[in-house]
Amino acid sequence: MKLTVGAYPIYPNPEQSELGTTAELLQQLSAKPRVGGYEIPYRGSAAPQYWNLTWPEGAAADSHLVLTGIPITMMMQGSHPGLGLASPTEDGRAAALELNRELHARVEALTAAGHQVKAVQIHSAPKGGGSEAAFAQSLKELVTWDWHGAALTVEHCDSASGTVAPEKGFLDLGQELAAITQVYEGSQEEAEGAARVRLGVSVNWARSVLETGSVETPLEHLGMAREAGLLRGYMASGIDPQDSAFGPGWVDGHLPVAGLGGAADSALLTPELLVKSWAAAGDDLVFKGFKMSLRPESLTVAQRLGLYDQIMELIPA
């Protein structure tokens, strides 16, 4: 299957025109035979282009999109600490549902314009104190909405139950899978809605490692989701337990493969582990790809693309 690329970590700074533009970056990425589409982030309707879920200028017209609400979800944890689809408070859960209505409106606008939205990634926020029962209740409502052919996937992030200090601290994967199963085993309307939107989970290599500090955890998470019949997506990105050019140790900084693109040898995602996880994920997914930042930030568009070429050479065809 063609790759879904989370290219937003390598968007050039718009104030440094000498590096090239994001439109040029996406135009040239789209010309690569293995690239099928993009994961694009949402920071709110008032955010600038490339961050507000409008069509990303430069992407090929037939590119598919995977939308993620993780940036806005994390941004709002500060001002609305109880906000989340898994919030045990009705106010926190209602605010999260309203936020997801914004994502839904973007799906409607993109599909009305003739674009393909493959999936929408949702999250089991808030940080700490989330409720499996509340999350299931939210999912039961979300599956009744018309997502216009897009799959609804719970992007698993590091949980509050892990052994490493949590960055996001959402529900653990077992709780997310159990909540999803409740929807499939709910009323006829809920079960049909879940099947229609292919409700399931997506796994990110770095976020699974961040939960436990172990490079075995992504394989365990992929296995759990696959055994439950609920694995819908996989994205590869790296992490470093040591301070690096990408930030402090254990930051979810979308690091590239160890030794490439500014990642030190201490980065945990090696070429061998990338290949191993790729095989474990399988190909019967809604989307599959990678999301990796690069350093230094002074790289030109051509240099960024060259490093992404090296990364794609490591990914099995």
Residues 216-249 have pLDDT tens digits of 999 999 999 999 999 999 999 999 999 999 999 9
Q: Where are the beta strands (DSSP E) in the chain?
A: 3-5, 35-41, 64-68, 116-122, 151-155, 200-204, 231-236, 287-290
Assign 162 a pLDDT band (cuts: 50, 70, 90). Answer: confident
Quote the radius of gyration of the chain (alpha carbons, Å). 18
Query: What pLDDT score was predicted for residue 81?
Result: 86
User: Residue ranges per domain, the chain?
Assistant: 3-314
Query: What pLDDT score was predicted for residue 282?
Result: 98
**CATH architecture, domain 3-314:** Alpha-Beta Barrel (3.20)
Where does residue 227 rank: exposed (0-12), middle (13-18), buried (19+ CB within 10 A)? exposed
d(CA 217, CA 268): 12
pTM for the structure as a whole: 0.97
Condensed to tens digits (0 to 9), the pLDDT of residues 73-117 reads 999 988 888 999 999 999 999 999 999 999 999 999 999 999 999
Condensed to tens digits (0 to 9), the pLDDT of residues 245-261 reads 999 999 999 999 999 99
**Three-state DSSP class for residue 5:** strand
Taking residue 94's Cβ as centre, other Cβ atoms within 10 Å add up to 13
